[in-house]
Structure 1
Amino acid sequence: MSARLKLTLSYAVIVVVSGGLLLAAVGLFLLRYVPDTVDFFPNRGDLSRAFVPVASMVMLVLLAFGLGAGWLLAGRMLAPLDRIGDAARLAAQGSLSHRVSLAGPRDEFRDLADVFDSMLEQLEAHVAEQQRFAANASHELRTPLAISQTLLEVAEADPDRDVDALIARLREVNTRAIELTEALLLLSRADRRTFPREIVDLSLLAEGAVEALLPLADRRGVAVEVGGAPAPVLGSAALLPQLVTNLVLNAIVHNLPAGGAVAVRTHSMPQAVALVVENTGEVLPAPLVATLVEPFQRGAERTRGDDHAGAGLGLAIVDRITQAHGGTLVLTPRPDGGLIVTVWLPHPYPAAPPA
């Protein structure tokens, strides 16, 4: 049975039972004070024969009224659920733009409709982002494959081809494709949020990342400074090093052509820890900064000719890893040029708030 039919029957049963009890009480009350042996006055039998048919008709009327009124009342009460169900069916068919938009006073049905609308809005945004990401990923992966094919075709048509140069160029293109594939896999892994967690010190990760990337910074003439307090967090020992490395690498690569600087600092607060990576560079407008966490978005000096240009997934990976750990990523452009990137993560041992 449908919910509407169940509610209708419930209303009808309540009405009939209540009417039956009322009629029974009236009947017993009347019959109690009527004598059974007087001939010239209506006795119990007379009243019973007069009362029972009328009571039966009243019960039938109450039953019909209970069913009809219950059906209408149940339909009116369940109308919001019908609208939510219609929206759910449209969403199942792929239409995520429809909204319930339930009006009226705020009650349980209104709250349910608002929550459902919020879920549809998030799903629509997520699907649009995934579609855009898939299109961009396909384009990015297609580029190195197309380059490889072109190199092979040119080499095949050129009898005096330089095999060593061809091999070097193919190795470079293949390396870029592998890096992009690994970045996509890492991004997917961060989105799933299924990874073991342990205590990891961001200050140690920052020192390790700076030490590993110091040769690159020296070649580019970028001075790197690292310091700060111990910053323990509860997270993935595989994903958090990628987060720190990506931030330091971005800060070194997307810097001034000469005389650039990078500062990496860690802070520990009572409720959270912070990793701050600040670098010099060109002045970044606020609208551009807001898009840097989107996949395949490249800021200033992010050219493909650069041996460390990447695919525009660095900050996107950082953002996803931060969200997977329940943290927040904040990008702030420096007035003199460059960027300040702050990663806030929950403290594994939060201090009690002051009384």
Structure 2
Amino acid sequence: MSVRLKLTLSYAACIMATGGVLLTVVWVFLLRYVPEVVMVPGSGGRTPAVPNQSDLIRAFTPPAIGAVIFLLIFGLVGGWILAGSMLAPLNRITHATRLAANGSLSHRIHLEGRGDELRELADAFDTMLARLETHAIEQQRFAANASHELRTPLAITQTLLDVAHQDPDHDNRELVERLRHVNTRAIDLTEALLLLSRADQRSFTKEAVDLSLIAEEATETLLPLAEQSGVTIMTSGDIAPTLGSHPLLLQLTTNLVHNAIVHNLPDQGSIWITTRVLPESVLITVENTGAKLAPSLVATLAEPFQRGTQRVRTDHSGVGLGLAIVKSIAQAHDGTLTLTGRPEGGLRATVQLPAAPPDAED
């Protein structure tokens, strides 16, 4: 049976049960106290002079049967209409689900009416569809960009090999060096894609991590690159405990610091790394000097393969996934990445993560 038919029968059964209770009440508290024979003084015998119990039962039974039939019909018809009205939002949700199953994620339910459970369900479903649509668009764009980025080193390799094949007497040392550089770039890109996929899947074990120690570790790792680029790194702040993956959070911080180094001033640049504790979260902020950035450009820097062509770049620039990986790792830890351009020039990147509970710090 359909849900509508089940609800209809349930409504009808409830009405019938209510009618039965009323009839029972009438019998228990009225008819049963009417005697079978009514004695009237002075009538000269046991001749009933007023309606007795049998008379009342005969008079009461036909209307009672009619009332029961009416209640049954009313319960079935009214229950069918009421069930249809209540299930109408579910039909709209079912229609939207089928459209989503066929690949159409742009449809929304937009259920009207008061905020009851069905309205909450429809709104939650609309929110889910919006997130799925956004995720699908991002995945399509990411796949297209990744294919393009991976095709580039392969195309360069093919060209170099074709040139070497057409000129066998050419010195191969330069060819080997260029192939090594292209292959290294392809490996770096592949590793970045794997790291990004790992962060998106949240396939890691959480442990207590101090962001201030993470910042120091990332700074020590990239200090030679900073000195080579003429960039000064300064760290400060409080102990900032959180729960997460130490390798991923170290990668997050390393990417932020590396990005601040390679997109800094050509000489005498500066980087400030600070950690801060809020009531329910911890912050790590990486600021760097550099050229002034337009807000429209800053808004795209965390997207995959968006390197920001207006920024100062060096030979140590990455594959265009640095900030995208930072954003993905932050989201995998229930955190956020906020990018803002500094008025003096450069970029300010702030990652906010949930603070570790007190018992996790012991």
Same fold? TM cut 0.5: yes
Amino acid at match of 2:107: H
**1:110 Cα deviation from its structure 2 partner:** 1.4
Asked whether the 8 Å contact 2:263–2:312 carries over to 1, the reply is: no
- Per the alignment, residue 26 of structure 1 pairs with 26
Asked whether the 8 Å contact 2:160–2:175 carries over to 1, the reply is: yes
Cα distance in 2 for partners of 1:178, 1:279 equals 28
1:295–1:193 distance in 2 versus 1, CA, 3 Å:
same
- Per the alignment, residue 15 of structure 2 pairs with 15
Correspondences of 1:237-256 after superposition (within 5 Å): 237-256=246-265
Amino acid at match of 1:135: A
1:317 aligns with 2:311: no
Cα distance in 2 for partners of 1:44, 1:349 equals 77
- Per the alignment, residue 278 of structure 1 pairs with 287
Asked whether the 8 Å contact 2:204–2:245 carries over to 1, the reply is: yes
Secondary structure at 2:213 match in 1: helix
Cα distance in 1 for partners of 2:80, 2:97 equals 24
**1:270 Cα deviation from its structure 2 partner:** 4.8
Secondary structure at 1:342 match in 2: strand
Cα distance in 2 for partners of 1:38, 1:102 equals 71
**1:165 Cα deviation from its structure 2 partner:** 1.1
Correspondences of 1:66-145 after superposition (within 5 Å): 66-145=75-154
- Per the alignment, residue 346 of structure 1 pairs with 354
**1:86 Cα deviation from its structure 2 partner:** 1.4
Cα distance in 2 for partners of 1:309, 1:155 equals 29
Cα distance in 1 for partners of 2:25, 2:47 equals 24
Asked whether the 8 Å contact 1:254–1:301 carries over to 2, the reply is: no
Name the % identity.
Answer: 61
Deviates more, 1:316-325 or 1:259-268: 259-268
Deviates more, 1:223-232 or 1:7-16: 223-232
Q: In the TM superposition, what whole-angstrom CA distance separates every residue of 1:217-259 from its partner, at most 9, and x where no partner exists?
A: 2332222333433333322121011111111111110112223
Amino acid at match of 1:213: L
Cα distance in 1 for partners of 2:66, 2:324 equals 74
Cα distance in 2 for partners of 1:196, 1:231 equals 19
Asked whether the 8 Å contact 1:254–1:300 carries over to 2, the reply is: no
Deviates more, 1:28-37 or 1:231-240: 28-37
Secondary structure at 1:225 match in 2: strand
Deviates more, 1:152-161 or 1:173-182: 152-161
Superposition TM-score, scaled by structure 2 size? 0.89
Q: Alignment partner for residue 330 of structure 1, among 326, 335, 338?
A: 338
1:219 aligns with 2:228: yes
Cα distance in 2 for partners of 1:185, 1:163 equals 32
- Per the alignment, residue 40 of structure 2 pairs with none
Secondary structure at 1:238 match in 2: helix
Amino acid at match of 1:33: V
Q: In the TM superposition, what whole-angstrom CA distance separates every residue of 1:302-331 from its partner, at most 9, and x where no partner exists?
A: 699x53222211011111111222222221
Deviates more, 1:18-27 or 1:291-300: 18-27
Q: Alignment partner for residue 179 of structure 2, among 160, 166, 170?
A: 170
Amino acid at match of 1:18: T
Asked whether the 8 Å contact 1:4–1:74 carries over to 2, the reply is: yes
Deviates more, 1:177-186 or 1:225-234: 225-234
Cα distance in 2 for partners of 1:40, 1:349 equals 88
Correspondences of 1:174-323 after superposition (within 5 Å): 174-300=183-309, 306-323=314-331
1:38–1:198 distance in 2 versus 1, CA, 3 Å:
same
**1:78 Cα deviation from its structure 2 partner:** 1.4
Cα distance in 1 for partners of 2:57, 2:275 equals 92
Asked whether the 8 Å contact 1:274–1:343 carries over to 2, the reply is: yes
**1:121 Cα deviation from its structure 2 partner:** 1.1
**1:43 Cα deviation from its structure 2 partner:** 4.6
Which structure would you say has the larger Rg? 2
1:64 aligns with 2:65: no
Deviates more, 1:195-204 or 1:308-317: 195-204
Amino acid at match of 2:95: D
* Unmatched tracts of structure 1, length 5 or more: none
Superposition TM-score, scaled by structure 1 size? 0.90
Secondary structure at 2:91 match in 1: helix
Asked whether the 8 Å contact 2:262–2:312 carries over to 1, the reply is: no
**1:39 Cα deviation from its structure 2 partner:** 6.1
Amino acid at match of 2:105: L
1:42–1:347 distance in 2 versus 1, CA, 3 Å:
closer
* Unmatched tracts of structure 2, length 5 or more: 38-45
Deviates more, 1:46-55 or 1:323-332: 46-55
**1:182 Cα deviation from its structure 2 partner:** 0.8
Cα distance in 1 for partners of 2:185, 2:100 equals 39
Cα distance in 2 for partners of 1:309, 1:325 equals 26
Deviates more, 1:244-253 or 1:227-236: 227-236
Q: In the TM superposition, what whole-angstrom CA distance separates every residue of 1:197-217 from its partner, at most 9, and x where no partner exists?
A: 222232333223222222222
